[in-house]
Amino acid sequence: MTVYSKLSVLLFSVCMLCGIFMNNAALASKTDNAVSLVNELLEEVSNIQKTEVSMEQRRAEFLKLIYAYFDITIIAKASTGPYWRAATSDEKEHYTKLISELIADVTSSQLGEIDNFSFDFQSSIPKGDKMVMVSGNLLVPNQSITKISVKWRVSTPNSDIAKIIDIEFENISMLVTQKQENIAIIRKNAGSFPALIEAIEGKLRK
Amino acid sequence: MKFKFMKIHQFYLPIIVCLGFILTSCSGVDKSDASYNRDPFENTNRQIYAFNDSVDTLILEPVVYGYNKAIPQSAKTAVANHVFWAGLPNTALNSGLQGKWENTALSSLHFSVNALTLGLINLVSEEEPPVSQDFGKTLSVYDVPEGPYVVLPILGGKTSRHAFGQVANMIVNPYSALEEKKAISQAVSMQPVLSTISWRAANFDIVNDIKYNSLDGYVRARSAYYQNRFGEMPSLSVQPSEADALFDDLDFEK
């Protein structure tokens, strides 16, 4: 083997090692970002719950969190399945706004007066190269169910961006459930996307 | 030892008859209209769901509301412990049938030790309690197909396999061996009522959320059932969940 060949092999090996190292570093950075995002969100939720405000104000605060911490465009797209493509851009925009409000509405009513909870982190696992699953238990003392298994799906398209796209409580994905409800409504109305928008508006008005 | 099954059967007989009736006379929907391909009898299921919903609104919800308000949390925990304890013989039996010997031993241990308090107080300081098993899960281990989704009066929505497993659990209930003693017999008869109230109380907000906050309560209940049951299934834990499949297919580009 000539000196040139030896150098080539050495250079190739160094490049491979650097590639593996950088890839691992990027993955580690993504999982760290995902865990930080979940912890930050829970802290913000806890602060809102501890503050004495009206239900309307609380809902408004949750709506801000949803825009800040959730990838609402992905959620809107995934929750309407094949009907997303058929919708007009106005319908998409309107639905995206409504689904954010619906999540804020449901979250504020579900959390009610609970202000004492903590998150017992268990693991963060990359799912492919664009998503991280953060798992743990939500500990809620003095409630009928004191320990709830929670998984957060966090979209991580690159090392700098992390946004939540789904939450699973006791294996029940909020996004899958919403998608199935949405599709049932659209199908019941002969494939009409505006019928879904109308149904959500009706629900929010109640 | 004399086995008596009638106590259990008297309570569940109308349900079992209805199950047979539903499975033989279900009105289906056109495949293109079925919102979920596991639910070919959606029209009939929706009618029974509406009946169950009315029963819940008129009877169960007010009773459980009062139960939640009047009974202290420690007493509710004791009742929930008792209901869990009462299901342990079935768990031990089904764990054995599934070859899960550790769970069989653990549930037998919990049952024997906690029998001193009728299960009201957990005397075993095990960090992880035994995992509840039923005959439906055992059937899944032996690759019995899950069958169509059916909504049963009072018992709610289940796969046919799960519904059949529930009936089998009642028939082979190990308590039937103890029914010669009147007090135990009465206690056994109360189990379905007690477990229903305890379950509804523990899941009061979740069930109410499905009833009052959903766009389509029937679809949300069905979706939650399938996802939760999938998470509990021993034979399916290696397969991707519905959420995994959703994100695998999703194009992340906006």
User: Which residues in B lie closer than 8 A to residue A55 (C-beta atoms)?
Assistant: none
Range 132-191 of B in CB contact (< 8 A) with A = none
What is the total residue count of chain A?
Answer: 206
- Its ipTM equals 0.79
- Whether the CB of B237 is below 8 Å from some CB of chain A: the reply is no
Indicate if the alpha-carbon torsion angle A26, A27, A29, A33 is positive or negative. positive
pLDDT truncated to tens, each residue of chain A (206 aa)?
Answer: 676 677 677 676 665 655 555 555 556 678 988 999 999 999 999 888 888 888 888 889 999 999 999 999 999 999 998 999 999 999 999 999 999 999 898 888 777 777 778 889 999 999 888 899 999 998 888 777 778 899 999 999 877 789 999 999 888 999 999 999 999 999 999 999 999 999 999 988 87
B221 touches chain A (CB under 8 A): no
Sheet holding A147-155, edge to edge: A118-127, A131-139, A147-155, A163-169, A172-173
Contact flag B254-A127 (C-beta cutoff 8 Å): no
**Between chains, do B247 and A179 touch, taking CB under 8 Å as contact?**
no
Pairwise CB contact (< 8 Å): A177 & B224:
yes
Nearest Cα of chain A lies from the Cα of B6 at a distance, in angstroms, of 34
C-alpha B161/C-alpha B141 separation (Å) is 12
Report pLDDT digits (tens) over B122-171: 877 767 788 888 899 999 899 899 899 999 998 899 999 999 988 887 77
Tens digit of each residue's pLDDT (9 = 90 or more) over A63-119 = 999 999 999 999 999 999 899 999 999 999 999 999 999 989 888 877 777 777 888
Cβ contact B209–A106 (<8 Å): yes
Give how far B180 is from chain A: nearest CA, Å: 35
Pick the residue of A77, A145, A164, A173 with the most B CBs within 10 A to test the interface with B by mutation.
A173
Query: A3-205: which CATH topology?
Result: Nuclear Transport Factor 2; Chain: A, (3.10.450)
